[in-house]
Structure 1
């Protein structure tokens, strides 16, 4: 039944006290989800044939023009099918003339697309007049619901995107309408990924392959079908672990011994649960397999020297042997060894890393050996929201050294990695973010102490890792066939879509810097560590979208329970959008008493004060959120607090020399900028007495603390 007839029938039933086949008063008191179910059932019943089904009519032909389209999907398909202007006749023109003609044709073409898309939106959108027969409240509700469903249609979003792109770049034809689908160039695949791809095909490239063998490997890879290429060069979580190595070395009785060999190493790591922004709880899971060849020297005492030493101590060394040794400098060095022992090795090879951000539930499964719980980029819609996976294929070069004198040991290692990264992040709904591009990593380790690291040692060990990712990025809506095709193209080629083709909400570039630092002081017995440790991670992510907008987010995590996060946007005009800047501090597993103090500082009714002490049972997760204005208001409140307790003279002294500030309140009062204020409230040094300080400021000034506070039970 046509929709107009259905609405007419509905109006008559309302006049008789019914709506969608039920009493209108009963309907009005039902929850929205029940109202929607009744409505859908009624409309389906009205459109169903009353008699035996009529002969099936042939399927309607696809709309030939946008004006003939009856659905948003048909309109999108018809608009994308509009013929692109021919530029073959511009080849012989001067460049300035050809460019002028091209821009004129492009502008006409884009105007046609925009007008067609806007006309389809205007024609198909629900109208308020469609619900004129309903009473005011019901009509408004039904209209808003219909409009919401219409605007959430992915093809309606695509029509809006067509209008926007034609307006933003009127003189440029979208690249996705002119470029042929990209195919990955096998010659551009990094050697480690090429080697791994061949291994999946059953071809093992020798570790020390000759240039001819490498060239032959690339020729084999060029024969692989397009739909297999992505799976081969980005093999996901299929990491095998092997041990054993071959090599050669000099005899052990020589004090300085050279050696060379090949080693294969596999690792799995699962971090503790970390509480992040908006109380998102995640863990990091890493699997890696590394193949390397190494060469180096070892120097120090030898078995022959040890035998000579003990024979001499026990009086079993003949005088003739001692005399022979002492008379020959070379033999003396062989049997006595060097006073300092140690080693220096250089290595090179390749590393494949699978790194995922997972939920605690997935972390539990992974800890139990259920690797199928790891996020799978081949099945992105089954990845929980907020989880992600990044696969790196990198070549590596590095060195490691160690020196020991008696019981004292010092050593370190440096590894430089360079290659490609490929990843997927699940966002809200059916949207995923994909990224691919170069990745450079530097890893440094250092140990200083007594004993031998890795066996039995006591001392200080530090690790530092820095990584830079420069990637292309796009957000793809998998609820549309176009989005699914764009994602499949990405998986097949590893190349991120360019200027927002159909199904792609945004595209651009992203630069991510990550710095990780870990320190341990205590006792190491094999793989067991007893002592204290600290770790931190800084992430700076800056994304530039095709429309010129920039999103940046700086996150600093100290351990698992203290996170500072600043996010801000820059408009196409290059100016920051202050209203969208957010400054956040997350305190994970925060003491319940301190939580009550913070809650009172933010939410207490000062006209009728009642403490929330004892309200919270066990540790809590706390998030403080500030705008730029909130931070400056907090600074002003701190100045009022200091002025009220210590007078204007103290405030003047802080203004003259902020270094004299003592404690959180005085430091806030001495702050000059929002950045200064945020550095104080996000400093982990203040986290355990910040609650009392802010509560004291609130009570003294008679004002609640600016900003927003959210609490969630940590249990």
Structure 2
């Protein structure tokens, strides 16, 4: 039995409590006299203005509800004339927002006089606590943000007030996702649907209730599989065989501990259930062939029995095998796979390794997910092929699988912020094994697994301290809808294009149905580009090799598409770094005048740079080469005609910050970079620019 339990038709169990500043909600009576309900619905309580608000939350809601500046009466006017009328309206609108937000901040802020009845020390202590709580209130922070944005962009209406529909509203979904969601419900669109069919597909999906819509869009949210296996095939005594069966397979994986940038240590935990229909064909040695061969060698077959076998071509092939030394088999398969994939802490990984699944990240219990952990569930269809062949003791196998479907997930960004995402996922997997021995009996060799997936995710960041954030999270859990950008509850929302690539090389052995593999080399690449609803872009490119060497480049673009100055960050993590090399690196960054430092045991070392620091490092390398008297090399570097694999020469030859970082972050530079940096500092008198942070590796 394989179970992957999900979130369908359930509610989050543990969300933060209401903010203490929020106004208490009166209880609604179970029933009320008819006379009390006679008033028309139109007489409902008028929404409060910012001046009437009793809490920062009510003030925020009132300010966000202010009517937007009119522009419908400007249609037909020349552009400059319309702008001259509309711009003052926007400026007045922002001035009103800023004025009301600042007034609310001043009105709700605790005053020292509120504690005048206490003695001096106690009064100061209570006042400081009240001020800290007030300043950390998310609605207070939103009021301050309204003031700041109105001052920074007085002639622009905030984009979240004019944003369109929810990023995962059915009408805004790509056709591919609509088709996949309907496929879960058994409705299949043709390959080239007509406009009428497309319209009907969107209409049908839009009419689904929340529970059904959430399940259709996120089919990995819940699955329970048992394992009956059926199949039919040619008997195994026939040298050339065909067959087909239905397989249900379960798999659990736990990776090694990986130290990422910012010293975050994680492991990848994955459970998957796969059901596939397989067709196969094979030829070669059969068990009967091997039994006959050994019987012949041991002399237990009579001459009459051997003569009888040799006289029949059919019986000869069945018993002795085909007259070629090669055995091979091929399979094609289709099916479905549902996957639970999580990023966990090493502590959670240790519990998972013992079989304790209770510690696995649960999106229904978000507040118990440690910061930095995440969970993603996928429902995908699959199709693929596999091929295996052997020649004497040499054997090899290869499998190619393509999957497509939907994924959804949750990541805890910090103590209060959670990122939710949902969208199409396409995956390609290739597995290869080459070894010696007998397939199906005993063999040993090397395996290489490669995979790549592309994700087109709608994404939002929610603040679960707020009532709005909790409501948006609950709606995501029940319907799969990514909420629209609406601070403070939804601080950001947009679209993420994500590419992941993994490569793992292992050595291992097979004994019958048992297998053992030991990882010898691995790498992981992620490119994540997010376009937020205000038009700004954030992109992070990260690369990890062998779980102990990571690099990351992150940058931001404004809504105008131009890079934001100072927003590009380069990081390299040297995990489990040698203590002597750490000492050299520390001394190089601290400079000649600093007291040399030493370390006890391996260290985690993170180096952080910006654009100007990397170019400064390039200039230090040039200065170092000038002072070492390397003949014509410095001149050749400046002329662009130099060629060398030396670390300091490659630094000096770099033309851009990215090229400098490519040298620094290359894992081949890992074991001699510290010594080179120390030499450069010693000869030039300049410390290495950038930031170096060290943490004990604990080993």
Shorter-normalised TM-score: what interval? 0.7 to 0.9
State the Cα distance separating 1:130 from its structure 2 match: 7.2
Asked if 1:611 corresponds to 2:596, the answer is: yes
1:370 aligned to 353, 356, 366, which one? 356
1:422 aligns with 2:405: no
The whole-number CA distance in structure 1 between the counterparts of 2:95 and 2:482 is 29
- State yes or no: 1:547 paired with 2:527: no
Cα 1:118/1:617, change in 2 over 3 Å: same
Assess, with a 3 A threshold, how the Cα gap between structure 1 residues 78 and 524 changes in structure 2: closer, same or farther.
same
1:644 to 613, 621, 627: 627
- The question of 1:683 aligning with 2:683 is answered no
Is the 2:159–2:534 Cα contact (8 Å) retained in structure 1?
no
2:284 is the alignment partner of 1:296: no
Secondary structure of 1:685's counterpart equals helix
Greater relative contact order, per chain length (Cα 8 Å cut-off, separation 6+): 2
CA 126–408 in structure 1, closer or farther in 2 if over 3 Å, else same:
same
Whole-Å separation in 2 of the counterparts to 1:179 and 1:293: 36
C-alpha spacing 1:69/1:532, structure 2 compared with 1 (3 Å): closer
Aligned-partner Cα distance in 2 for 1:435–1:685: 36
Residue 269 of structure 1 pairs with residue 257 of structure 2:
no
The answer to whether the Cα contact below 8 Å between 1:568 and 1:578 also exists between their aligned partners in 2 is: no
Which residue number corresponds to residue 555 of structure 2? 568
**Offset, 1:301:** 2.2
* CA 1:180–1:294: 2 relative to 1, 3 Å: closer
Q: Based on CA coordinates, which of the two structures has the bigger radius of gyration? A: 1
2:295 and 2:471 map into 1 onto residues whose CA distance is 78
2: CA distance, partners of 1:493 / 1:184 = 15
1:552-631 matched pairs, under 5 angstroms: 552-604=539-591, 606-607=592-593, 610-612=595-597, 615-631=598-614
Pairwise CA distance, 1:391: 0.7
User: Are the structure 2 counterparts of residues 142 and 549 from structure 1 closer, same or farther at C-alpha, using a change threshold of 3 Å?
Assistant: farther
Q: C-alpha offsets along residues 317-349 of structure 1, whole Å, 9 cap, x if unaligned?
A: 437525532xx4x55544442322121111111
1:73-119 CA distance string (max 9 Å, x none): 223333455679999xx9xx9x989x99x999999997786455323
Give the whole-Å Cα distance in 2 for the aligned partners of 1:684 and 1:360: 24
Q: Secondary structure at the match of 1:268?
A: strand
Out of 254, 271, 275, the position equivalent to 1:287 is: 271
CA positional deviation for 1:367? 1.8
Flag the 1:514–1:106 CA change in 2: closer, same or farther, 3 A: farther
1:121 equivalent in alignment to 2:101 = yes
Q: Which residue, out of 489, 500, 507, partners 2:493?
A: 507
**Distance (whole Å) between structure 2 residues aligned to residue 371 and residue 573 of structure 1:** 47
Matches within 5 A, 1:222-237: 226=210, 230=214, 234=218
Over 3 Å counting, the alpha-carbon distance change for 1:310 and 1:600 in structure 2 is closer
CA distance in 2, matches of 1:180, 1:695: 53
- Specify which structure has the higher proportion of helix: 1
Deviations 1:339-368 (A, max 9, x none): 221211111111111111111222222222
1:243-254 equivalences in 2 (<5 Å): 243-254=227-238
Tell me how many residue pairs correspond in the alignment.
Answer: 618
Change (3 A) 1:701 1:655: same
What TM-score does the superposition give when structure 1 sets the normalisation length? 0.76
d(CA) in 2 for partners of 1:221, 1:454: 48
Specify every segment of 5 or more residues in structure 1 that has no aligned partner in the other structure, as ranges: 1-39, 41-60, 196-218
- Alignment CA distance shift 1:531-1:225 (3 Å): closer
Q: 1:659, CA displacement in angstroms?
A: 6.2
> Structure 1 residues 537-546 or 676-685, which shifts more?
676-685
2: distance between equivalents of 1:85 and 1:670? 55
Judge conservation of contact 1:601–1:694 (CA < 8 Å) in 2. Answer: yes
Give CA-to-partner distance per residue, 1:551-571, whole Å, 9 cap, x none. 111110001110011111111
1:387 CA displacement: 1.1
Counterpart CA distance in 2 for 1:257 and 1:541 is: 47
Question: Cα–Cα, structure 1 residues 702 and 661, in superposed 2: closer, same or farther, change >3 Å?
Answer: same
Matched, 1:256 2:240: yes
SS in 2 for 1:688: coil
CA contact (8 A) 1:344 1:401 kept: yes
Report how far residue 501 of structure 1 moved.
Answer: 6.2
Q: Confirm whether residue 488 of structure 1 aligns to residue 466 of structure 2.
A: no
CA contact (8 A) 1:192 1:395 kept: no
Cα displacement (A) at 1:466: 0.2
Compared with structure 1, are the counterparts of its residues 227 and 240 closer, same or farther at alpha carbon in structure 2 (3 Å cutoff)? closer
**Could you state the TM-score of these two structures normalised by the residue count of structure 2?**
0.77
Question: Which residue of structure 1 aligns with residue 522 of structure 2?
Answer: 535
Q: Structure 2 matches for 1:48-447, cutoff 5 A? A: 63-79=47-63, 114=94, 116-126=96-106, 152-159=136-143, 160=145, 168-169=156-157, 174=162, 190=181, 226=210, 230=214, 234=218, 242-306=226-290, 309=293, 314=299, 316-318=302-304, 321=308, 324-325=311-312, 328=313, 332-338=316-322, 339=324, 340-447=326-433
Mapped partners of 1:582, 1:77: distance in 2: 36
Determine the C-alpha separation between the residues in 1 that align with 2:216 and 2:180.
Answer: 11
Q: 1:274 to 1:194 in 2, by over 3 A?
A: farther
1:243-277: CA deviation from partner (whole Å, max 9, x where unpaired): 45111111223222111111111111111211111
